[in-house]
Amino acid sequence: MPKEVNRRDFIKLAAVAASVVTVGQVLPLQPKQAMAASSAPNPAVTLPVGAVSDTSDVLLRMQQELIQALKKPVEQRHWRMVLDLNKCVGCSACTIACVSENKLPPGVVYRPVLDEEIGTYPNVTRRFTPRPCFQCDHPPCVPVCPVNATWKQADGVVVVDYNLCIGCRYCLVACPYHARTSDFGANYCQNTAEAAGIIVGQQKADDYEKMPNFEYGKKWPRKKYTSPIGNARKCHFCLHRVANGMLPACVTTCIGRATYFGDTNDPDSLVSELVSRPDAIRLKEELGTEPSVYYLV
Ligand code: SF4
Ligand code: SF4
């Protein structure tokens, strides 16, 4: 079952995640412009001084490869994610990093970590399965949209235009992986009593929840009757970070180094290496959805 993120945990963990995950300077763009921004070659993005030649940590290697990929035209790269189930410790740091990065409200979780007990007592163990959107190459969520608010980009990421989405939720039903959720406009701190002294106090927590997110490279203030409230929402591989040379928030926050991201059109990339391993699988292959997310089992 996906772990619930209750209000108290959210405030505590969001404060931690916010300290390790930075969005960087993202220019406010319209969604379709944002797609173009994430698609265009971006030779201006470089690694921090001193980091370029150090690929001993997989994060540095992946970031270096990401920057190389951004120099290519969009149709020449394909973003994919690999999740090593042998390394995932079920800490849910990725879930909270994503909540913090994208300012996700209650009920909207892009990357739950499924927690299962397997085996028969006393020979039991637990299996943790992070479950982002799989950015399917044949996404059933796309053709059902009556207003063409969702589509697959040339770089492999399935996106949602919040300005077009009417919130009908057809795509939620069509997704066989339950990767989409609706934003009903809730806030973690609404209707709660004053709780000054708990971490930051209610007022500060309210302020935190009203902060805009930067999905698709646009500033989305959290205001009543304003997108993305009312829209379908899903993981987008943190395109706004990727376009600026940063790995998705879940990747940088994964304490088990269980999450990998990169361009499989680069045969020398780490993710290309991983997806070709014999223990790399995709979920529900029989559906023909061709997920861009692989699991190492
Ligand atoms: S996992 Fe679901 S929401 Fe994501 S692309 Fe595939 S069908 Fe669409
Ligand atoms: S909820 Fe939005 S994205 Fe999903 S099918 Fe309806 S209009 Fe399209």
Supply the pTM of this predicted model: 0.80
Amino acid identity at 41: P
In this prediction, residues 52-78 reach a mean pLDDT of 88
Ligand 1 atom 7, closest CA:
175
Residue 204 CB contacts under 8 Å (≥ 6 apart), including other chains: none
- In a 10 Å sphere around its CB, with 0-12 CB exposed, 13-18 middle and 19+ buried, how is residue 76 labelled? middle
Ligand 1 pocket, CB under 6 A: 133-136, 139-141, 158, 175, 177, 179-180, 234, 289
Angle, vertex CA 268, rays to CA 265 and CA 273, nearest 5: 90
* Least-confidence region, from 52-56, 121-125, 213-217: 52-56
In short, whether 165's Cβ falls inside 6 Å of ligand 2 is yes
Average pLDDT, the chain: 84
CB atoms within 10 A of CB 123: 7
Pocket test for ligand 1, best of 152, 158, 237 (most atoms within 8 A of CB): 158
* Rounded Cα gap, residues 13 and 89, in angstroms: 17
Find which of 152-166, 187-201, 211-225 is predicted with most confidence, using mean pLDDT: 152-166
pLDDT given for residue 195 in this prediction: 58
Residue 51, pLDDT > 50, answer no
Pocket test for ligand 1, best of 289, 290, 293 (most atoms within 8 A of CB): 289
Nearest to 248 by CA among 109, 97, 112, 128: 97
Residue 227, pLDDT > 50, answer yes
Residue 243, pLDDT > 80, answer yes
Asked whether the beta carbons of 240 and 220 are under 8 A apart, the reply is: no
In short, whether 147's Cβ falls inside 6 Å of ligand 2 is yes
Question: Which ligand neighbours the alpha carbon of 152 most closely?
Answer: 1
Beta strands in the chain (DSSP E): 79-84, 113-120, 123-130, 150-152, 158-160, 181-182, 232-233, 259-263, 280-281, 293-296
| Confidence bin at 239 (pLDDT 50/70/90) | very high
User: Count of H helices and E strands in the chain?
Assistant: 9, 10
User: Could you tell me the CA-to-CA distances from 260 to 63, 124, 132, 223, 274 in Å, in that order?
Assistant: 10, 28, 13, 34, 9
**Cα 161 to averaged position of ligand 2 atoms, centre (Å):** 9
**Cα 105 to averaged position of ligand 1 atoms, centre (Å):** 20
- In a 10 Å sphere around its CB, with 0-12 CB exposed, 13-18 middle and 19+ buried, how is residue 45 labelled? middle
